[in-house]
Amino acid sequence: MSRIFTTPFSSVYPHYLAKIEKKGRTQDELDEVILWLTGFDEAGLQAQLIAETTFQDFFAAATMNPNATLITGVVCGVRVEDVEDPLMQQIRYLDKLVDELARGRSMDKVLR
């Protein structure tokens, strides 16, 4: 089991936010991406952050967007579509969306 699985999502969220804010994006845009991918509503996302849910529990509670499989590309030298572990793939999907947001892609393209 990877260490990231037991890491609280709320401990990584500020890093995602800092990454996109450096590039002129907003917290609302980050939340929109997370909500699109996971199926949470705003209250559900906030509840997950407050509860300090692990990535494993966060994605277990999520209803993944059916278009998540359209997310392709490389994160940390690994193609997200080739990741075999389903949980790790979901985490990489989120990483890829945050990367695309930080690179300035339009929300239409990020949200496929």
What is the DSSP secondary structure assignment for residue 25, as one 8-state letter? Answer: -
How crowded is residue 44: how many other Cβ atoms within 10 Å of its Cβ?
A: 15
Residue 28 scores a pLDDT above 80: yes
- Percent of the chain at pLDDT above 70? 99
Instruction: Note whether 4 and 78 are within 8 A (CB).
Output: no
Supply the pTM of this predicted model: 0.93
Can you read off the two tokens belonging to residue 103?
A: 């690179």
Which among 57, 76, 70 is positioned nearest to 110, based on CA atoms? 70
- Give the count of beta carbons closer than 10 Å to the beta carbon of residue 95: 19
Q: What is the pLDDT of residues 32-48, one digit of tens each?
A: 999 999 999 999 999 99
Domains of the chain: 3-105 (1.10.8.290)
pLDDT tens-place string over residues 54-87: 999 999 999 999 999 999 999 989 999 999 999 9
Q: How far apart are CA 85 and CA 107, in angstroms?
A: 27
